[in-house]
Amino acid sequence: MIRLAVRCAPEAADLVLAELTVLAPNGVEEERGPGYVEYAIYGGEGELPELGEIEAVVGGRPIEVSATEIPDDWADRWRDFHKPLLIGQRLWLRPSWEPPRAGAIDLVVDPGRAFGTGAHPTTRLCLELLLELGQGGGAGGELVDLGTGSGVLAIAAAKLGWGPVRGYDHEAAAIEAAAANAAVNGVELHLERMNLRETLPKLAPTVVANMTAPVLTAVAKLIGTGAAPEILICSGLLPSELDATAAAFAPCGLAEVERRRDGDWAALLLRLP
């Protein structure tokens, strides 16, 4: 296993992160230190993307790219920092080595090659909005998860009462991870590999899309040629990208209902009038 890292000055971090998440949409690890921000991705030899484009994006600002071989016991070390998380006082998101929580909906996701475990702010924001929709009577009916990653959002939706639930991702590792996690959680998902920049599946009344702003903009253009969902939750956004992303979906007939932020990340809730 190889750890590929990009280190940059804090003022270049947003540009580097935006580009890196396009090249590696399965998610990144973030580390901050005195005068630097470092983003890292993991993969086997031949699986990691080329990072040459990042140097052009940051406009001459200095960056440092490094590759480090990870010891064979790297997976066991995830246990040191992957802890259970209670979301909305109702959803207990945990790795398999942690016990269930009495009275909470149990969702088991182990760290893997596909984004994400649910601990990332973009995933948490989507889960919070799904919970609130469910508590408000909005759960039920078909749901589509665009950029499903490890299937966290799709599995949570199934447990909250949506169904059937379909998940799409352009990474084979994501589809494999989502299928494995669905089996562990005892839910049924329809999963399919698809390049969402170029084509979309038939959308459901409720859609959740935790992807980067460039991919969401591409999705908005594709929706413009077909039927928009009644409800769209989208995240994977920097706060500075909220206005432009909401504007991209406006021609689809989707209006902004709510925006929320968690640290350096943000999400939108959009609806048809």
Lowest mean pLDDT among 62-66, 106-110, 235-239, 248-252: 62-66
- pLDDT tens digits, residue range 100-122? 999 999 999 875 544 556 677 88
Domain boundary, last residue among 23, 39, 70: 70
For the chain, percent of residues with pLDDT exceeding 70: 83
CATH classification at residue 154: 3.40.50.150
> 249 and 163 in one domain?
yes
When divided into structural domains, the chain yields a total of 2
Domain of 159, in residue numbers: 80-271
For the chain, percent of residues with pLDDT exceeding 90: 45
pLDDT score for 47: 63
> 256 and 169 in one domain?
yes
For residue 220, being part of any structural domain is answered with: yes
Cβ(126)–Cβ(153) below 8 Å: yes
Give the separation between CA 264 and CA 220, rounded to whole angstroms.
23
> 16 and 115 in one domain?
no
Q: Is the dihedral of CA 142, 147, 151, 153 positive or negative?
A: negative
For residue 105, being part of any structural domain is answered with: yes
Q: Is 271 helix (H, G, I), strand (E, B) or coil?
A: strand
> 186 and 129 in one domain?
yes
> 228 and 145 in one domain?
yes
27: tokens are 């998610």
> 102 and 60 in one domain?
no
> 63 and 118 in one domain?
no
**What would the 3-class secondary structure string for 88-116 be?**
CCCEEEECCCCCCCCCCEEEECCCCCCCC
- pLDDT tens digits, residue range 25-64? 556 778 887 888 888 877 666 666 666 656 555 666 678 8
Mean pLDDT of the chain: 84
CATH classification at residue 10: 3.30.70.120
Radius of gyration of the chain (CA): 18
For residue 75, being part of any structural domain is answered with: no
Q: Is 242 helix (H, G, I), strand (E, B) or coil?
A: helix
> 224 and 139 in one domain?
yes
For residue 192, being part of any structural domain is answered with: yes
For residue 131, being part of any structural domain is answered with: yes
pLDDT(261) > 70: yes
> 102 and 57 in one domain?
no
> 37 and 142 in one domain?
no
Q: Which residues are registered as beta bridge partners of 46?
A: none
For residue 219, being part of any structural domain is answered with: yes
> 87 and 66 in one domain?
no
- What residue type is 89 in one-letter code? Q
Domain boundary, last residue among 70, 97, 130: 70
Domain boundary, last residue among 47, 70, 93: 70
> 261 and 202 in one domain?
yes
